[in-house]
Every structure is written in structure tokens, then in C-alpha cells.
């Protein structure tokens, strides 16, 4: 039985889940530097996760600066993206990884607003969920299942429920070890859920996933560099970011700039992450392992210094 099948089995007849929501970050939400614009978030728990049936790259003009933001897509569009919690000291296994944050409702709304999805629309989903005795993530999953895992049909059902669609990022359910998390995906050809709301990726003609070097070639500016740093610093917390930095050997100028910036960023990142999430050192170690182990697992040093 695969992880998706186990998720379906566990979701049947489950009691009402807690009000906190697991939110999976796969770009700048993986680091304290990336969380900084949100201010202090009351993070209840954190987990490193492997993302199956997923690929990521830079692919959407950001609403927050002159840069490309990271996009996550399913490899096989008729199957869900599935997350698996990774043990604190688990060895890297390849593939895409992210960071899951368990957040109270108010913090989820703040993340939603930053991602370009109106908090009022997310409130409507939660209201519908409460009427059915469920929570936000569970109702999103049921909408997705009812749409037979068709992303366009799911988005249309979400639009029908909320009377809202975003051209930026849209909440999406992700099975996570018997629970349901959410993440925010940038709509592409499949649409936003409303024909009148054209996704930014479609409007600008940037539908392909770019590696960091390709994004830098199109946006060689401080905004793109700062955003890349925020994503890559997830490596300090043991999130493997090899897929984001593997191109750097072919872009020595960009690599030098990143190495210089990260040399200043990395010593501050761990303390900044704790300050912004409110996690204690003990809670961090239980979830992600000792800081030195986490940083070693993320693999930043050999990946970056190989470019010098």
C-alpha cells in the first residue's frame, strides 16, 4: 500500500482534527531569513519533509520584488504531491525536500496573505469545513478527491466555494503521514479556477521551471539574490536544497555572490529562526536534530565551496 492509499484509509472516519494547520514551505519559508517579513510566527511544531511526485524551480514573477519565485509542481499530474516526515537524523534520500510548520489559524492567514491568496477566501473554506465537522486541510483534500485529483477541476471547485481565485499562489492539500497539510502552488496552464483570473505564469509566458542560473540570467539583481539566499538557507536546518544549487558550478559569478552573502547569513540563521518561530532549542533538536548535524545534512558547504 503506497503513502497516498494509506492516507485515504486513515482519513475515513477520522475524528475532528485539531485547529492547527501544517503548512509546507518549499522556498523562502524554509528559513528564518525568508520568514522575517512575516514577523514572529507562533510555530507549534516543525518537521523536515520529503516531497514525493514533486519538482521545483524558479518560475513565477513575484508580487514582492523584481524576481522569480520558487514554484512546486507534480511530476505526474494525475497523482497527488505527497509529503513524508523525515526523522531528525535521517540521511538525505534524494528528491525534493521542504519544511513543514504547524501553525495556529491566525498565522496561517498571515502566510496566505503573503502568498497572494486572500485571507477572507481562506476563512470561507474554514467556515465550510466547520459546517462539515472538519478542518481546512481536510476539506481541501476532499475537494481535490471529489475532482478526481484533476488540478483544474479542484481549482474550479475551490473558486465555486469561495467566489475567489488568485493569480499568484493557491492553497493545495498534501497528504502528510495520515494527516493533511497544505502548501501554496502557483497556477499555470491548468488555471486559477476562474477564467477571468489569469495566472501570473500564464500572463507573463513563464511556464517552464528555471534553475537558479537561468533565473539569474533574466533577473540579475539584488532582489533575486536576496530571495535565492532565503530559499537556500533552508539548508542550515537540514533541508536538502541540492536541486536549487546544483547549477551553480556553471555560473561562477552568481556562485561567488551567493557564497559571500551566505558567509554572513549562515552564522545568524539558526538564532534568527528560533527567534521568529518561538521554538526552543530543545524543540528544534527534537524535530530537526542538533544544529551542527542539521547544517551538515543540508549540504551547503560542499555544494557551494565546490563552485569556488
Maximum distance among all Cα pairs of the chain, rounded to whole angstroms: 57
Average confidence (pLDDT) over 31-52? 97
In which residue are the cell numbers 565551496 written?
305
> Is 307 inside any structural domain?
no
> Is 45 inside any structural domain?
yes
Average confidence (pLDDT) over 130-148? 94
CB–CB of 171/135 below 8 Å?
no
> Is 302 inside any structural domain?
no
Cβ density class 169-208: b for 16+ within 10 Å, e for less: bbbbbbbbbebbbbbbbbbbebbbbbeebebbbbeeebee
Residue 267: is it exposed, middle or buried by C-beta count within 10 angstroms (0-12/13-18/19+)?
exposed
Q: Please, which residues have CB within 8 angstroms of residue 46's CB and are 6 or more apart in sequence? A: 99, 100, 101, 102, 277, 279, 283, 284, 287, 288
Q: ∠ CA(168), CA(107), CA(50), 5° rounding?
A: 70
> Is 305 inside any structural domain?
no
pLDDT above 90 (res 132): no
In the chain, how many domains are there? Answer: 1
Domain of residue 260 covers 13-297
Nearest CA-CA partner of 170 in 196, 192, 190, 195: 192
CA 92/CA 279 separation, integer angstroms: 24
CB–CB of 74/54 below 8 Å?
yes
**What pLDDT digit, counting tens, does each position of 227-276 carry?**
999 999 999 999 999 999 988 989 999 999 999 999 899 999 999 999 99
CA 89/CA 77 separation, integer angstroms: 31
**What pLDDT digit, counting tens, does each position of 67-117 carry?**
999 999 999 999 999 999 999 989 998 889 999 999 999 999 999 999 999
Average confidence (pLDDT) over 51-62? 97
Q: DSSP secondary structure string, 245-290?
A: HGGGGG-HHHHHHHHHHHHHHHHHHHHHHHHHH---HHHHHHHH--
Residue 69 phi/psi, 5° resolution?
-100, 165
Round the average pLDDT of the chain to a whole number and report it.
Answer: 92
> Is 258 inside any structural domain?
yes
Least-confidence region, from 8-17, 85-94, 113-122, 215-224: 8-17
Amino acid at each position: 500500500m503506497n503513502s497516498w492509499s494509506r492516507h485515504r484509509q486513515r482519513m475515513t472516519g477520522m475524528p475532528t482534527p485539531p485547529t492547527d494547520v501544517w503548512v509546507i514551505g518549499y522556498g523562502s519559508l524554509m528559513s528564518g531569513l525568508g520568514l522575517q517579513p512575516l514577523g514572529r510566527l507562533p510555530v507549534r511544531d516543525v518537521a523536515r519533509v520529503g516531497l514525493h511526485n514533486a519538482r521545483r524551480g524558479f518560475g513565477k514573477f513575484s508580487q514582492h520584488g523584481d524576481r522569480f519565485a520558487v514554484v512546486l509542481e507534480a511530476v505526474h499530474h494525475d497523482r497527488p504531491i505527497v509529503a513524508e516526515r523525515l526523522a531528525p537524523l535521517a540521511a538525505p534520500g534524494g528528491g525534493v525536500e521542504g519544511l513543514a510548520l504547524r501553525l495556529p489559524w491566525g498565522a496561517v492567514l498571515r502566510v496566505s496573505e503573503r502568498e497572494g491568496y486572500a485571507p477572507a477566501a481562506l476563512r470561507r473554506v474554514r467556515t465550510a469545513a466547520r459546517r462539515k465537522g472538519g478542518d481546512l486541510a481536510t476539506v481541501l483534500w476532499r475537494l481535490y478527491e471529489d475532482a478526481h485529483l484533476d488540478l483544474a477541476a479542484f481549482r474550479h471547485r475551490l473558486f465555486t466555494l469561495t467566489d475567489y481565485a488568485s493569480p499568484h499562489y493557491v492553497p493545495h492539500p498534501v497528504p502528510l503521514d495520515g494527516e493533511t497539510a497544505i502548501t501554496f502552488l502557483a497556477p499555470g496552464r491548468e488555471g486559477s479556477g476562474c477564467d477571468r483570473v489569469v495566472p501570473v505564469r500564464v500572463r507573463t509566458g513563464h511556464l517552464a521551471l528555471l534553475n537558479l542560473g537561468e533565473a539569474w540570467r533574466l533577473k540579475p539583481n539584488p532582489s533575486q539574490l536576496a530571495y535565492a539566499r532565503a530559499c537556500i538557507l533552508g539548508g542550515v536546518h537540514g533541508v536538502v536544497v541540492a536541486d536549487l544549487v546544483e547549477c551553480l558550478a556553471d555560473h561562477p559569478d552568481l556562485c561567488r555572490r551567493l557564497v559571500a552573502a551566505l558567509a554572513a547569513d549562515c552564522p545568524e540563521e539558526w538564532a534568527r529562526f528560533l527567534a521568529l518561530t518561538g521554538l526552543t532549542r530543545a524543540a528544534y533538536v527534537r524535530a530537526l536534530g542538533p544544529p551542527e548535524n542539521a547544517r551538515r545534512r543540508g549540504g551547503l558547504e560542499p555544494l557551494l565551496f565546490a563552485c569556488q
